[in-house]
Amino acid sequence: MPADCLACRANRGDVTAPGGVIYDDGLWRVEHQLAPAVVPGWLILKPLRHVRSLAELSPHEAAELGPLLVRLTAVLEMETGAERVYSVLLAEAVTHVHFHVIPRRAEIPAGARGPAIFSLPASAPDATCAAIARRIADRLRAHHDLPA
């Protein structure tokens, strides 16, 4: 757990995302994108361990990943009305494996869809992000209406 890794710092609680921890099963953690966020509901899904490649996941971590991505996608569709939910793994600026799970709503202009969404200004209000993060956390805890 390198001291200078932003993902590890967030996992330790040194850095707090709007709305706090959304999900933590001991292997994977979900938090809102750190403030200032690009769009409300932009989530970061990452292993608790400092892992630099999906190839380094344990069998247990790997087994949890797919179902968790499915559940996050479903909850973002329900909570944000997104037309698309992107799942993007780059790990360039922060090398700790992390997925950006991004609700792309209808009002996002055509020129800012796909990879261009990363170029939008980070102007989502923190309070809006915190509120949606708490709703997502509640829905994940209830999860009776989510895919298994």
Residues 8-47: x/- map of binding to Zn ion (CB under 5 A)?
x---------------------------------------
Strands annotated E in 38-130: 43-47, 84-89, 99-104
Residues 50-79: x/- map of binding to Zn ion (CB under 5 A)?
x-----------------------------
In the block, tokens 């909850």 appear at 75
- Smallest distance from Zn ion to CB 28, Å: 13
Question: Is-contact 18 130, C-beta < 8 A?
Answer: yes
Rounded CA-CA distance 135/142 in Å is 11
DSSP bridge partners of 29: 24, 46
**Binding status of residue 7 toward Zn ion by CB under 5 A:** yes
Which of 32, 71, 96, 104 binds Zn ion (CB under 5 A)? It is 96
Interacting residues with Zn ion (CB under 5 A): 5, 7-8, 50, 96
